[in-house]
Amino acid sequence: MNLKRITLVVLLFVSSSAFACPGKDFVNAIQYGAKAVFTVRVVDDAKQPVGDAKIRARFDAAFNASGETKSLVTDTTGVALVVGRTGKSVSLHVSKSGYYASSDEINYVAMGHGVADGYWQPRNPEKTIILRPVKNPKAVAPKVGGFRNSKRIGEWLKYDLEYGDFVFPDGKGKVGDFEVLFDWDGKLGNEYTGMSVKIRFPDGYSGGCYVDKVMCSDFKGAYAFSLSKHLLHEFFYFAHEERIRKTGEFVRREEKMFDGTKTLLIRSRCEVDPLTKKIVKCHYSQISDLQFGCGYDGIVFLVESFFNPTANDTNLEPKQ
């Protein structure tokens, strides 16, 4: 009997420690702010320092809804020291003429080191921010196209990246850079349980490949199509929402393969020499965002893309 009581006491002690509430200093820092000190290092694509970059730091604070904002400039080594008082984070916007601006943040709550001696911890961490140079933007802006509330399933539909629309009669496009096939259970709005989107290219020479986005930059995509990339000729995206009735509520799960952290580079409209079987003419483009799902009247499929109208030009830097 005594052993059982001792075991129970130990378990209660461990459980209460594991779920301890945040300390008083942490709670006060969230409500009233704590001192923040950190270093911003600004570099370019080649990891070289960017001097004279303008930094706008906005300090979040519950006691001051607008937050304090400070302006700084990096030195010749691309470094600036940021000092202020914040509730939990500091938002950063970095810019310089000839570069695409970048935005990021220092989030002390996410770091999870708490507060000590009135300072957010760790004291003076370093945040590296990349400024991507403006190189050779084409005088063409990205386009957003697609459709909302369609019920076209089980048919391959052609999509024109130059027009940013489906090919007639489903839109105003003229040339199919790729084809799309939708599968859907036919239920609308909150009733649908899932759908899939399959993308294929019309020939063995056209295709696409993924590259990572530079998430903090105003220009997140790729500067150019890499001719060394291995091309895929078919892509499959799946969205699923599963509903489980539990205590009168629905639990929803959704999975999408295109998660927004990548861009899809595409080669299409290929003309091939019949003797050498080599490409003599083609066009390059990139899809920076692809959204699909089910609305209250049908399928929603939206594409944000940039198409280079100049044949054989691999440049994928659009006008911003």
Give residue-wise pLDDT tens across range 194-249: 778 889 998 889 999 999 999 999 999 999 998 887 898 988 876 654 444 444 44
One domain for residues 87 and 203: no
One domain for residues 156 and 293: yes
One domain for residues 78 and 179: no
Share of the chain above pLDDT 70, in %: 83
Cα separation, 211 vs 87, in Å, equals 36
One domain for residues 216 and 94: no
One domain for residues 164 and 269: yes
Convert the pLDDT of each residue in 22-44 to its tens digit: 577 778 887 778 899 999 999 99
One domain for residues 97 and 184: no
Instruction: Collapse the DSSP code of 41 into the 3-class scheme (helix H, G, I; strand E, B; otherwise coil) and give the result.
Output: strand
| Residue 318 domain-assigned (yes or no) | no
Average pLDDT score, the chain:
85
Peptide bond into 122 cis (omega under 30): yes
One domain for residues 177 and 124: no
How many angstroms from the chain centroid is the CA of residue 157? 27
φ, ψ of residue 305 in degrees (nearest 5): -145, 165
One domain for residues 85 and 185: no
Amino acid at 70: K
pLDDT at 16: 38
Cα separation, 217 vs 219, in Å, equals 5
Cα separation, 188 vs 284, in Å, equals 36
| Residue 252 domain-assigned (yes or no) | yes
One domain for residues 176 and 105: no
Q: Looking at residue 127, which CATH number applies to its domain?
A: 2.60.40.1120
| Residue 48 domain-assigned (yes or no) | yes
Say how many C-beta atoms besides its own lie within 10 A of residue 226's C-beta.
13
One domain for residues 148 and 78: no
| Domain coverage including residue 209 | 143-307
Q: Please state the domain count of the chain.
A: 2
Residues 310/272/169/195 CA torsion (nearest 10 deg): -100
| Residue 14 domain-assigned (yes or no) | no
One domain for residues 156 and 222: yes
Convert the pLDDT of each residue in 147-174 to its tens digit: 887 888 889 999 999 999 999 999 999 9
Token pair, residue 167, equals 């090919």
